[in-house]
Amino acid sequence: MRAAALMGAVLAAILLAGCGSTTGAGTPPGAASSSSAGPASAGSGSSVASVTVKTLDGSLLTLPTGHPTVIYFFTASCGPCAAGVKNVASGLARAAPGAQVITVDLDPSEPTEVLNQFIVSVGNPPVTLVRDDGTLLKHFSVDSLGTTVVLNSSGQEIYRGVDPSADETAKALAAAGS
């Protein structure tokens, strides 16, 4: 019960902080923060422990996936997050085949219909949608809406930023080996 209350407090703080903060942009967890987003140098990111979550369609997804992966944290009620999802999807389109995008809704109270409408409103990009119960929020130490994490196929975090451009996303995926 106490853990649920703590996760609720963390989520509330993130939602109150709003979208588009640049806290920790361009850095893997545990690395020094940078004021600009960008790929971390090869080998500087930490490997991510495996975690399994349920996608919005009910299937199970284990991260890391064994492919270069962009993980984008958002809520459907975050206006700038719509542009963020579009940028991430555009960056994916520029990457070589095999890369994927996981979009993680941080507001468990948003109805499935609202999430599906949000994805349609941003062009119905080829993303996997996950409604987070706090598992991924905690696992990836997310402290801002729009946080974007890129993992290489080995599960090493090679990029972390907030609302990167399509070019930054494409460069991060290129660095991830897509």
Q: What pLDDT, in 10s, does the model give residues 89-123?
A: 999 998 867 899 999 999 999 999 999 999 999 99
Strand partners, 4: none
Q: Which helix (H) or strand (E) holds 158?
A: strand 157-162
Expressed in angstroms, the distance from the first to the final Cα of the chain is 41
Q: Which residues of the chain have pLDDT under 50?
A: 1-7, 9-10, 13, 16-17, 21-44
Enumerate residues 6+ apart whose C-beta is below 8 A from 99. 67, 68, 69, 70, 92, 173, 176, 178
Give me the pLDDT at residue 47, please.
79
In 3D space, the residue among 78, 83, 87, 81 whose CA is nearest the CA of residue 167 turns out to be 87
Phi, psi of 174 (to 5 degrees): -65, -40
Question: What is the torsion angle, in degrees rounded to the nearest 10, for the CA atoms of residue 63, residue 8, residue 142 and residue 95?
Answer: 50
Give me the pLDDT at residue 19, please.
58
Instruction: Dig out the tokens for 26 from the structure.
Output: 């361009």
Give me the pLDDT at residue 18, please.
54
Give me the pLDDT at residue 69, please.
94
